Amino acid sequence: MSEFAFSVGAILVSVTGEVLATGYSRETDPKDHAEEVALRRASGTDLAKATLYSSLEPCLGRASRPVSCSELIAASGLQRVVIAWLEPPKFVPHGGAKWLAARDIAVIQLADLAPAARAVNGHLLP
């Protein structure tokens, strides 16, 4: 694993609690982000009432792809995102949550889950 590789997971859930799709970082390609994998798998599904759960704030910019996860989320029609923690600025300045909120997409951070999400990435953080 690269020294810059996060372990991130994402899951799309319908309003009735049905799992629509899942994804994790580097799942199908070394440049994959968890959210983009889940969204790709849910392509063609109406996501307007679904919720995306992610262990990390969706990225707002990236060098490896032309479109950020935040932009993919906005384009998907999702209206609700739940995250465990904000992306550490060591790799990419965070801002995805604020960017999504500015587009009327609800972003809820469950700070109690942040320690568990950070723990699997502890080798990357000071």
Active site residues: 35
For residue 89, how many other CB atoms are within 10 A of its CB? 9
Token reading at 62: 């990236």
Contact 96, 71 (CB under 8 A): no
Measure the CA–CA gap between 121 and 50, rounded to whole angstroms. 27
d(CA 88, CA 64): 18
